[in-house]
Amino acid sequence: MNVATAVPARIGLSGSRGASAPGAFAAFLASRVAVGDAGQDAVWHAAPERPDTDMGDAEAASRDRVLTAALGGDRDAFDAVVRRYQGQVFRIAGRFFRERAEVDDAAQETFLAVWRRRATYRGDAPFEHWLTRVCLRACYARLRKVGRTREDAGLEDDAPIVARDPGAPGAAVDVARLLAKLAPKDRFVLLLLYGEGWSTEEIAARVGWSRANVKVRAHRARAKLRRILEEDAP
Amino acid sequence: MTLDCRQVRGRVLASRRSDDVHLEAHLEACRSCADFAVRMEHVRSGLEAHHAAAEPDPGFAVRLRARLEGGDGATLDTMARWALGMLPAAIAIAAALTWFAAREGALAPTAWDPEPTAGDATLEWILADEAETP
């Protein structure tokens, strides 16, 4: 099996200007600019999707106005936020689910959670980071809830994970089958460790778990992966 | 320092092959661990490539808005307006169903109380039992 396929873009995280200090954000909320100023907010709406760090001042100010309104309960502003960040959320969810319907469901659950929990966003981290955390947790919850994804349904036979080809230099691994054999919590951690290439510290920071918790989960997941690779070896 | 197979596999799982001379020396000498390292490299590459190239469709935000309006986001006022709008239709449907049920009830035999037939084994058994009773 040729696994040297193009590696897709990883879950991007970037810093964000504005709304990053709790005090500044609270002050900003208090003195929020009237939302719906089409002339100013159009700057952000019309701009191509890109990391917040690459924004100019006018665009960042426009973004802050829309975000503030959305987090204050303005549905139209929230629509604008959804349209702006939906690509990022789909990229994250696409790491855990390969079927489009599953990705769509996870993305919807993410934005619903953002809406329902918008009051808990304190502004002490950039919105993109908070959104990423909510999305990762929504994906984890969904993985646990559905147990096996729809794509796993066709992989329930006992076909080997490691190809038994004596002529091959090393044996190719059927990753889809491997993932189908793993419990959702192990799958989640391994996709972040190996798929995203994140360290346990990075996972802890982005998902919002303690470092000890992530280390234990990573240790268990790696042990299961090792066992599967050893048991399934030709 | 020499590493045993367990230690080597732990290192292979923890990070990509590097300039760890002890690890490489073991892999040179141990065919089983070398195969394990190759399989693990396949896993890494496969998991990196495990990504749905799904982009949001134009209707995504609209569907989300509908869910917000229908669930968490629906205000009492919105729901009340919707319920009032549906009231005439609900009354009409209920009236039609009532009329239909009454009409069917008058014309059709009751399905839950069938006429006993001579071939009904249970009935024959009951009748025979009664006949034997003094």
Q: How many CB atoms lie within 10 A of CB B49?
A: 15
pLDDT at A151: 57
Residues of A in contact with B55 (CB under 8 A): 87, 90
CB-based contact, B55 to chain A, within 8 Å: yes
Q: Which of B42, B51, B63 sits opposite A3 (nearest CB)?
A: B42
pLDDT at B60: 94
Distance CA A230, CA A20 (A): 47
Contact A4 B56 (CB under 8 A): no
- Which residue's entry shows tokens 């491997």? A178
Q: Band of the pLDDT at A22, cuts 50, 70, 90?
A: very low
* DSSP summary character for residue A31: T
Contact B39 A94 (CB under 8 A): no
Contact A75 B64 (CB under 8 A): no
**pLDDT tens readout for residues A53-112:** 666 777 788 888 899 999 999 999 999 999 999 999 999 999 999 889 999 999 999 999
Q: Which of A82, A171, A226 sits opposite B9 (nearest CB)?
A: A226
- A147-A152-A154-A159 Cα dihedral, nearest 10 degrees: -110
Q: How many CB atoms lie within 10 A of CB A181?
A: 16
pLDDT at A4: 37
Closest CA to A146 of A79, A81, A93: A93
Q: How many CB atoms lie within 10 A of CB B66?
A: 12
- Contact (Cβ atoms closer than 8 angstroms) between residue A108 and residue A118: no
Q: How many CB atoms lie within 10 A of CB A73?
A: 12
Q: Is the pLDDT of residue B118 over 60?
A: no
More confident residue, A30 or A150: A150
Contact A116 B72 (CB under 8 A): yes
pLDDT at B31: 92
pLDDT at A214: 95
Distance CA A146, CA A153 (A): 12
Distance from CA of B12 to the nearest CA of A (A): 10
For chain B, how long is the longest CA-to-CA vector? 103
Q: Band of the pLDDT at B15, cuts 50, 70, 90?
A: confident
- Which residue's entry shows tokens 């000498």? B29
Size of interface A-B (CB pairs under 8 A): 123
Half-sphere exposure in the Cβ direction for A72 (13 Å, CA):
19
Distance from CA of B46 to the nearest CA of A (A): 6
Closest residue, chain A, to B6 (C-alpha): A226
pLDDT at A158: 63
Q: Is the pLDDT of residue B122 over 90?
A: no
Q: Band of the pLDDT at B101, cuts 50, 70, 90?
A: confident
Q: Is the pLDDT of residue B114 over 50?
A: no
pLDDT at A27: 44
More confident residue, B10 or B78: B10
Predicted structure pTM score: 0.67
Closest residue, chain A, to B44 (C-alpha): A194
What angle, rounded to 10 degrees, do the helices at A57-71 and A22-30 form? 70
Q: Is the pLDDT of residue A167 over 80?
A: no
Mean pLDDT of chain A: 77
Mean pLDDT of chain B: 76
CB-based contact, B6 to chain A, within 8 Å: no
Q: Is the pLDDT of residue A177 over 70?
A: yes
Distance from CA of A215 to the nearest CA of B (A): 12
Residues of B in contact with A190 (CB under 8 A): 47
Contact B43 A178 (CB under 8 A): yes
**pLDDT tens readout for residues B25-69:** 999 999 999 989 988 998 999 899 888 888 899 899 999 999 888
Q: Is the pLDDT of residue A7 over 80?
A: no
Distance from CA of B87 to the nearest CA of A (A): 28
| Six token digits for residue A49 | 């999707």
pLDDT at A18: 39
Residue A96 has phi, psi (to 5 degrees) of -100, -25
Contact A229 B43 (CB under 8 A): yes
| Six token digits for residue A109 | 């659950």
pLDDT at B87: 84
- Which residue's entry shows tokens 């990391």? A51
Q: Band of the pLDDT at A124, cuts 50, 70, 90?
A: confident
Identify the residue among B30, B31, B50, B72 best suited for mutation to test binding to A, counting A beta carbons within 10 A and taking the highest.
Answer: B50
Q: Is the pLDDT of residue A6 over 70?
A: no
Contact B48 A162 (CB under 8 A): no
Distance from CA of B84 to the nearest CA of A (A): 24
Specify the amino acid at residue A55: M
Residues of B in contact with A175 (CB under 8 A): 42-43, 46-47, 49-50
Q: Is the pLDDT of residue A219 over 70?
A: yes
**pLDDT tens readout for residues B64-99:** 999 888 765 444 445 566 677 788 888 899 989 888
Question: For chain B, how far is it from start to end, CA to CA, in angstroms?
Answer: 102
